[in-house]
Amino acid sequence: MQNPEQQVAEDEQDTADSNRLPTIDDWANIKDCDIMQQQSAIQAEEAHKLPYVGDKEPLSVLEVEYQSGSPILQKKIKTLSEGFAFVRRTRGDGNCFFRCFMFSYLEHVLELQDKTEVERMKGKVEECRKTLQNLGYVDFTFEDFFALYLDQLESVIQGTEASISQDELVTKCRDQSISDYVVMFFRFVTSGEIKKRSEFYEPFILGLSNCTVDQFCKTSVEPMGEESDHVHITALSDALGVPIRVMYLDRSSCDSGVGVNHHDFLPGAADLQQGSDSGSSAVKPYITLLYRPGHYDILYSK
Amino acid sequence: MQASRARLFKEYKEVQREKAVDPEIQLICDDSNIFKWTALIKGPSETPYEGGVFQLALVVPEQYPLQPPQVRFLTKIFHPNVHFKSGEICLDILKTAWSPAWTLQSVCRAIIALMAHPEPDSPLNCDSGNLLRSGDIRGYQSMARMYTRLAAMPKKG
The pLDDT tens digits of the residues spanning A140-197 come to 999 999 999 999 999 999 988 889 999 999 999 999 999 999 999 999 999 999 999 9
Interface of B with A in 114-153 (CB under 8 A): none
Spatial distance between the Cα atoms of B4 and B74, rounded to a whole number of angstroms: 24
Judge whether A191 lies within some domain: yes
- Nearest Cα neighbor of A120 from A153, A94, A74 is A153
Question: What pLDDT was estimated at residue A216?
Answer: 96
Question: What pLDDT was estimated at residue A282?
Answer: 52
B56 touches chain A (CB under 8 A): no
pLDDT band at B20 (very low <50, low <70, confident <90, very high): confident
Question: Is 70 exceeded by the pLDDT of residue A277?
Answer: no
Flag if A32 and B96 touch (Cβ within 8 Å): no
Share of chain A above pLDDT 70, in %: 83
Distances from the Cα of B5 to the Cαs of A151, A182, B8, in angstroms?
A: 20, 19, 5
Name every chain B residue with its beta carbon within 8 A of the beta carbon of A151: none
Judge whether A42 lies within some domain: no
Q: Which regions of A84-233 does DSSP assign to beta strands (E)?
A: 84-90
- Residue of chain A whose alpha carbon sits nearest to that of B6: A144
Question: What pLDDT was estimated at residue A69?
Answer: 87
- Nearest Cα neighbor of A257 from A78, A81, A125, A135 is A78
The pLDDT tens digits of the residues spanning B34-60 come to 999 999 999 999 999 999 999 999 999
User: How high is the mean pLDDT of chain A?
Assistant: 86
Mean pLDDT of B4-31: 91
ipTM value greater than 0.85: yes
Share of chain B above pLDDT 90, in %: 87
Judge whether A71 lies within some domain: yes
pLDDT band at A45 (very low <50, low <70, confident <90, very high): confident
Mean pLDDT of B7-32: 91
Judge whether A137 lies within some domain: yes
Per the CB < 8 A criterion, the answer to whether B51 and B153 are in contact is yes
Flag if B97 and A218 touch (Cβ within 8 Å): yes
Question: Cα–Cα–Cα angle for A36, A39, A45, nearest 5°?
Answer: 145
Torsion angle of C-alpha atoms A1, A34, A225, B15, degrees rounded to 10: 90
Spatial distance between the Cα atoms of B73 and B124, rounded to a whole number of angstroms: 13
Question: Is 90 exceeded by the pLDDT of residue A259?
Answer: no
Q: How many CA atoms lie within 13 A of A236 on its CB side?
A: 25
- Residue-wise DSSP of A219-264: IIISSTTPPP-HHHHHHHHHHHT--EEEEE-SS--BTTB----EEE
Q: How many CB atoms lie within 10 A of CB B121?
A: 10
For CA atoms A69, A73, A79, A84, the dihedral sign is negative
Spatial distance between the Cα atoms of B111 and A28, rounded to a whole number of angstroms: 25
The pLDDT tens digits of the residues spanning A4-42 come to 444 444 444 444 444 555 455 566 666 777 777 888 788
Judge whether A36 lies within some domain: no
Mean pLDDT of B96-119: 96
A140 touches chain B (CB under 8 A): yes
- B26 to chain A, minimum CA–CA distance in Å? 19
CATH of residue A210's domain is 1.20.1300.20
Full residue range of the structural domain in which residue A249 is found: 47-301
Judge whether A38 lies within some domain: no
Spatial distance between the Cα atoms of A195 and A193, rounded to a whole number of angstroms: 5
Mean pLDDT of B83-112: 95
B64 touches chain A (CB under 8 A): no
Flag if A218 and B99 touch (Cβ within 8 Å): yes
Domain count for chain A, please give it: 1
Question: Is 80 exceeded by the pLDDT of residue A1?
Answer: no
What are the b/e assignments for A250-280, b being 16+ CB within 10 Å?
eeeeeeeebebeeeebbbebeeeeeeeeeee
The pLDDT tens digits of the residues spanning A94-153 come to 999 999 999 999 999 999 999 999 999 999 999 999 999 999 999 999 999 999 999 999
Judge whether A21 lies within some domain: no
Share of chain A above pLDDT 90, in %: 68
Judge whether A114 lies within some domain: yes
Q: In this complex, which of B3, B92, B99 lies closest to A144 when CB atoms are compared?
A: B3
